[in-house]
């Protein structure tokens, strides 16, 4: 296992609607699909597509949704040794609303996706990874995984996601080599300019269709993106992170990592569903056709 991914493992129900609902309004559903989801599961799955061996630390219930979600990961070759199955628990289900322009809103139940506490983590499993990628989860659990990984000599990246402003991820960020944020998170949460706040770390700022940039000790790097018309942005950020991590692990520079990460995000956003990331061959072809 080269990359361990820790965080949420969900079951997604994607509802394509004519517009996102407004208060006292109504939207029309014109398509419905179901698949595995959750940022940790998505990144691990996407890494497997890129021929990078991956594993997951997370939790599901012992219900049908948990069975379906884990089956997809197993079929992709993801190591589930660190996955906790909660007896009589319900797997978290997210309802993903996607409007015609590709914008996304989400509804979720609590479910079992944060049932893993620090004491439930197999430290040896974490320490066996070359790189650990952390996604949204209990801050205490994320901090524990980050410390174990750092102590074992692994590199650590974190993409805390939408709840960054609501949770204390200070200890997690302190142990991270790479931090992923989008524009909203960078502006709303990071008090200092990137070069001051992350002087010794790598900050990756995602700009959606407008590309992304890296602030690193080695310098500043940008890529403008690929200008696609989004169909469904669900999972695009996870595909971005997977491609960035995979490229850096294979020795690629920041320019190459940004190019492939933006390509993976664009590829995913141009199709429906969170599990539409490219294989390594498809990603190379996508980049070659547009450069």
- Residues across the chain: 291
SS3 185: helix
DSSP code of residue 271: S
Asked whether the beta carbons of 98 and 104 are under 8 A apart, the reply is: yes
In angstroms, the CA 87 to CA 200 distance is 43
In angstroms, the CA 31 to CA 285 distance is 29
Residue indicated by tokens 């502006």:
187
Token pair of 182, please? 């989008």
Q: Is 191 exposed, middle or buried (0-12, 13-18, 19+ CB in 10 A)?
A: exposed
Token pair of 267, please? 């590829």
Which residues are annotated as catalytic? Answer: 238
């Amino acid at each position: 296992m080269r990359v361990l991914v820790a965080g949420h493992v969900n079951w997604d129900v994607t509802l394509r609607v004519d517009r996102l609902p407004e208060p006292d309004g109504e939207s029309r559903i014109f398509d419905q699909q179901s698949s595995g989801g959750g940022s940790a599961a998505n990144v691990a799955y996407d890494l497997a597509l890129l021929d990078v061996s991956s594993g997951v630390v997370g939790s599901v219930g012992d219900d049908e949704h948990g069975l379906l979600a884990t089956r997809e990961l197993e079929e992709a070759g993801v190591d589930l040794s660190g996955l906790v199955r909660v007896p009589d628990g319900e797997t978290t289900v997210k309802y993903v609303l996607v409007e015609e322009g590709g914008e996304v809103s989400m509804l979720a139940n609590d479910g079992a996706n944060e049932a893993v506490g620090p004491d439930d983590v197999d430290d040896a499993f974490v320490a066996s990874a070359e790189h650990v990628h952390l996604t949204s989860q209990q801050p205490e659990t994320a901090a524990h995984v980050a410390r174990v990984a750092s102590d074992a000599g692994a590199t650590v990246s974190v993409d805390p996601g939408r709840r960054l402003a609501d949770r204390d991820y200070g200890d997690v960020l302190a142990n991270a080599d790479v931090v992923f944020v989008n524009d909203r998170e960078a502006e709303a949460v990071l008090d200092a300019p990137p070069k001051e706040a992350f002087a010794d770390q790598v900050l990756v700022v995602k700009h959606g269709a407008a590309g992304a940039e890296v602030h690193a000790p080695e310098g500043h790097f940008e890529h403008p993106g690929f200008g696609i018309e989004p169909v469904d942005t669900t999972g695009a950020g996870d595909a971005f992170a997977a491609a960035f991590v995979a490229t850096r692990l294979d020795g690629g520079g920041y320019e190459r990592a940004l190019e492939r990460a933006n390509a993976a995000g664009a590829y995913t956003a141009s199709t429906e569903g969170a599990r539409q990331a490219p294989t390594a061959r498809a990603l190379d072809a996508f980049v070659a056709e547009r450069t």
